[in-house]
Amino acid sequence: MRPALEHEPFSEAAAPAADPLVGSKIGEFVIRERVGAGGMGVVYRAEHPLIGKHAAIKVMRAELVSPEQEQRLLVEARAVNAIRHQGVLDIFNFGTLPDCRPYVVMELLQGQSLADRLRERDRMDVGTTAWVLDQVLAALGAAHRAGVVHRDLKPANVFLMEQPDAAPLIKLVDFGIAKVMQEQDAQAGADGSTVGTPDFMAPEQIRGGEVGPAADLYALGVMAFQMLTGTRPFQGDNVQVMFAHVERIPPRVSSRVEGIPPELDDLVFQLMEKEPAKRPESAAAVRLKLRGLARPPASLETEAAPPPSEESRAVPQVTTAVSPPVRRSGMPIAVAAVVGMALLGVGYG
């Protein structure tokens, strides 16, 4: 499997016939090949010519260069270095090319994202899901203790790093819109805009309210639901999904698949509570609740997903119209207005 270095979808066909950076030197590394391109930049495999160390170098696209986007890249580099955890993709250098394009030098990963894995197999079994969640929570807990909120947790930002004769090492990537608690972040959301990915955004994040560790736990709940059922709790366009996150009760995992332990069913539902205070108090608390369920696979090729429930066979998709709206003092039209305004400034990680 080729190295997958970037958390954004790649388009290898988009590579030019001759990339002028290939063969050149960036810092102490020589660019060996272009691996792919995402929405924010181009990723290269690089090598230190003296000691043979390999690295990935992400260079921002020229058309996107701005003080704001450079700050986003710098926020990511600072955030991961504040955390310093093996479950977080390491970034060990930051710089600017002569043409003013910023870049970061990061560890080279071999494997695939959780999003790619779910596209291949749709769902995971209970033991593997709990194990992956536990690894993600270990990294999240370290981030939260370091005062960093990810704000864009989703399968595309969870990387399954291949290891010989062992279960994969889980890496959390893309802290580009992370929020450093106790600081005023001038780049990410300080102007009142909403940042994140609509399918995984917590209600308070959509409303533009205070976003803390509980928002990451909400996203983890949505991700767990998808891992176990093969679909996200709410379907639709961005406006419909964001409205549902704010106003609608999510379905339970057990309504979509059979054989889900009640404690796991309850935990995923609690993670998706609308009010942050009703969610588990910390990543460590969630890990405790997962204890006894996690089963590390010898390989992610071997896990078997639980069978769908009778209800899920009859209703193949969970739509935003399935669950009844949550009663709130505000009118639904006010929520729709908040969602509409949020979309004007939404940032996609």
Q: What average pLDDT does the chain have?
A: 82
Same domain, 164 and 206: yes
Same domain, 170 and 314: yes
Same domain, 82 and 128: no
Residue 257 placed within a domain: yes
Same domain, 328 and 247: yes
Q: What is the pLDDT of residue 322?
A: 30
Q: Is 199 a catalytic residue?
A: no
**Residues flagged as binding site for ATP:** 58
Active-site entry in 125, 134, 152, 216:
152
Residue 163 placed within a domain: yes
Q: Between 49 and 314, where is the model more confident?
A: 49
Supply 43's token pair. 């990723």
At how many degrees (to 10) do helices 213-229 and 283-290 cross? 30
Q: What is the pLDDT of residue 304?
A: 53
pLDDT-based confidence at residue 182 (cuts at 50, 70, 90):
low
Sort residue 241 into left (φ over 0), alpha (ψ -120 to 50) or beta. Answer: alpha
C-alpha 263/C-alpha 260 separation (Å) is 8
Residue 2 placed within a domain: no
Instruction: Look at residues 71, 106, 141 and tell me which one is the last residue of a structural domain.
Output: 106
Same domain, 77 and 222: no
Q: Which residues contact 330 (CB under 8 A, 6 or more apart)?
A: none
Q: What is the pLDDT of residue 348?
A: 39
**pLDDT tens digit string along 291-328?**
999 888 765 655 555 556 544 433 333 333 333 333 33
Residue 202 placed within a domain: yes
Same domain, 207 and 328: yes
Same domain, 203 and 299: yes
CATH number at 96 reads 3.30.200.20
Amino acid at 345: G
What value does the mean pLDDT take over residues 201-222?
A: 96
CATH number at 132 reads 1.10.510.10
How many domains does the chain divide into? Answer: 2
Residue 150 placed within a domain: yes
Alpha helices per DSSP H over 254-320: 262-271, 283-290, 310-314
Same domain, 77 and 145: no
Instruction: Look at residues 49, 73, 106 and tell me which one is the last residue of a structural domain.
Output: 106
Instruction: Look at residues 54, 87, 106 and tell me which one is the last residue of a structural domain.
Output: 106
Same domain, 68 and 133: no
Least confident of 8-12, 38-42, 300-304, 321-325: 321-325
**Residues flagged as binding site:** 58
What are the backbone dihedrals phi and psi of residue 116, each rounded to the nearest 5 degrees, phi first? Answer: -65, -40
What are the backbone dihedrals phi and psi of residue 133, each rounded to the nearest 5 degrees, phi first? Answer: -60, -40
pLDDT at residue 244 tops 70: yes
Residue 141 CB coordination number (10 Å): 21
DSSP letter assigned to residue 277: G
Helix (H, G, I), strand (E, B) or coil at 182: coil
Residue 220 placed within a domain: yes
Same domain, 143 and 77: no
Residue 5 placed within a domain: no
Supply 295's token pair. 């089963």
Whole-model pTM?
A: 0.79
Same domain, 153 and 91: no
Select from 200, 340, 198, 196 the least CA-distant residue to 272: 200
pLDDT at residue 217 tops 80: yes
Q: How many CA atoms lie within 13 A of 1 on its CB side?
A: 15
Residue 60 structural domain: 12-106
Residue 262 placed within a domain: yes
What are the backbone dihedrals phi and psi of residue 191, each rounded to the nearest 5 degrees, phi first? Answer: -90, 10
Our CA dihedral for 262, 264, 270, 271, rounded to 10 degrees, sits at -170
Same domain, 248 and 145: yes
